[in-house]
Structure 1
Amino acid sequence: MRNFYVSHNKIFSDRILISGEEKHHIVNVLRLKPDEHVKIFDGQGNEYLARLKHFNSDNVVAEILEHRQISPPKPYVTLLQGLPKFDKFDQIVQKTTELSVSEIVPVLCQRSVPRLNRDVSLKRVSRWQRIANEASKQCGRIYFPKVKEITEFNECLTSLNFDLSLILWEEEQKLGLKSILRQNAPAERVGLFVGPEGGFSSDEVDIATAAGAIPVTLGSNILRTETAAIVGVALILYELGGLGSV
């Protein structure tokens, strides 16, 4: 059965209005017909079994047959990613979404190269949210991750509302990510700070540690920021049960 994403504001008590790219895919690519059954999800945990009913110039109208609300996945992982060059951030959003990251916060750090005005920042965040949505649809995620506004590093530290806050640092010699995760299982909300190109400064690590974050290493190899983000998120989800389990 085919799956389609529809924004929650197009879903009503008895029907769903399918428009835009999803309508094009139904009508022109798959050439589905009235009375065929499809699955619809809204990216917020709602899944619908629906029957295609009417086709018009604006929408495909589908009748809701069944609805179920799916519980949010655990653990809830927030990636606080030091802002790198934009093509790298695109990749980070796409790949960590495929892994089931729950939230992505672009973070301005001391070594972040891009410095943007507010209008450009909002356009970038909108683009990254679209990338996250497309990646979610591709891999069949029921809950789509939220890409937050670009935030200053110090501001991120004012409210670390996590069971476990971690900061990847290549100079950490004692604490590995795997051992910290196993010591703190089952943490349900985890925040992971990953630096931009060049990593975090020692001052940033000190400030984060004072705020409650734990510096950890991924091992002896120094990874690119996009690699570190993907590996870090994957390890957290694997160790805490969100990846590799059924």
Structure 2
Amino acid sequence: MSVRRFMAPGADLAGESVRIEGDLFRHMVKVLRLKIDTRVRLADGHGVECAGIIQEIGRDHLTVAVEERHAVAPVGGSLRITLIQGLPKGEKMELILQKGTELGVNEVVPFQADRSVSRIPADRQDERLRRWQRIAAEAARQAGRLDIPTVQLAQGMDEAVRDTDHDLKLLLWEEERATTLQGAINVRPRPASIAVIVGPEGGLTREEAETARRTGFIPVTLGRRILRTETAGIALLAILQYLYGDLGEGENPEEGPGSSLTS
């Protein structure tokens, strides 16, 4: 029987034992009904994994005695992708986080675009970020990733693009008419890192597009096809992972299907 793997973001895997609380504890004990002496693997989402045995189960936590510890390579290859997403309405951001995580995005930067209908009050931003990070962690667990995308909220386009140092920077802009996605990527060397900007439902203003252009982003059009904001980034991530990442590659025969994290 294969050993179950679990994402344990925030857990300290450096000691002789690991304490598991909260949602992961409830999932392991209440849902999966794991018992004392069950062997498990834990990953912290930052490249460290440990194997051990459940040593203790309390009312609100369990303890895993660590037997071995090692570094692991992130699932998704060496391509680093950042999605800079204009804040959409309702729960669309959660869908974008879930599907983006499945498609191997490394960082998601929601930003308050000029035309964003949704606005997050300053006193609720930390709470919203914690929720988004939990959603990303859960999606990573479901997708079998051993790393978790980071989520950072930016107050506007200036802040969203300020520290981008990617090899390829793409801006999906509905007002671009000349440069296609294919044209933008065909004339450039294979990138190791890519940043993508997607606007909210109302699109980006000319001023926002110009701000992105000044920091090296290439405005591109998807032609006659019109995609919703929650679809555009997901579609582009899939394309980029197919071209430059590991989408469509065969399974590692040394790992096999038993290597994925449990759902």
TM-score, normalization by structure 2: 0.85
Distance in 2, Cα, partners of 1:224 & 1:152: 20
Distance in 2, Cα, partners of 1:68 & 1:243: 26
In terms of mean alpha carbon deviation, does 54-63 or 189-198 score higher? 54-63
Counterpart in 2 of 1:188? 192
Distance in 1, Cα, partners of 2:208 & 2:23: 43
Task: Tell me by how many angstroms 1:179 deviates.
Answer: 4.1
Distance in 2, Cα, partners of 1:128 & 1:139: 16
Distance 1:195 1:61, change over 3 A: same
Counterpart in 1 of 2:4? 2
Report whether the alignment pairs 1:114 with 2:118: yes
- Counterpart amino acid of 1:234? A
In terms of mean alpha carbon deviation, does 31-40 or 74-83 score higher? 31-40
Report whether the alignment pairs 1:239 with 2:248: no
Task: Tell me by how many angstroms 1:165 deviates.
Answer: 1.0
Q: How does 1:61-100 map to 2 (within 5 A)?
A: 61-72=63-74, 73-100=77-104
Counterpart in 1 of 2:256? none
- Matched residue count: 246
Q: Is the 8 A contact 2:169 2:216 kept in 1?
A: yes
Counterpart in 2 of 1:47? 49
Q: Is the 8 A contact 2:157 2:212 kept in 1?
A: no
Task: Tell me by how many angstroms 1:166 deviates.
Answer: 0.8
Tell me the SS of whatever aligns to 2:178. Answer: coil
Counterpart in 1 of 2:19? 17
Tell me the SS of whatever aligns to 2:94. Answer: helix
Counterpart in 2 of 1:136? 140
Distance 1:12 1:184, change over 3 A: same
After superposition, what is the alpha-carbon deviation per residue over 1:69-117, rounded to whole angstroms, capped at 9, x for unaligned?
1234421111000111131111111111111110011112221112332
Distance in 1, Cα, partners of 2:62 & 2:185: 47
- Counterpart amino acid of 2:227? L
Distance 1:9 1:22, change over 3 A: closer
- Counterpart amino acid of 1:113? V
Give 5+ residue unaligned stretches, structure 2.
251-263
CA RMSD of aligned residues (A): 1.9
Percentage identity across aligned positions? 39
- Counterpart amino acid of 1:101? V
TM-score, normalization by structure 1: 0.91
Tell me the SS of whatever aligns to 1:101. Answer: coil
Distance in 2, Cα, partners of 1:114 & 1:124: 12
Residue from 13, 30, 40 that aligns with 1:28: 30
Distance 1:242 1:179, change over 3 A: farther
More helix by share: 1
Q: Is the 8 A contact 2:11 2:19 kept in 1?
A: no
Counterpart in 2 of 1:157? 161
Q: Is the 8 A contact 2:154 2:160 kept in 1?
A: no
- Counterpart amino acid of 2:43? F
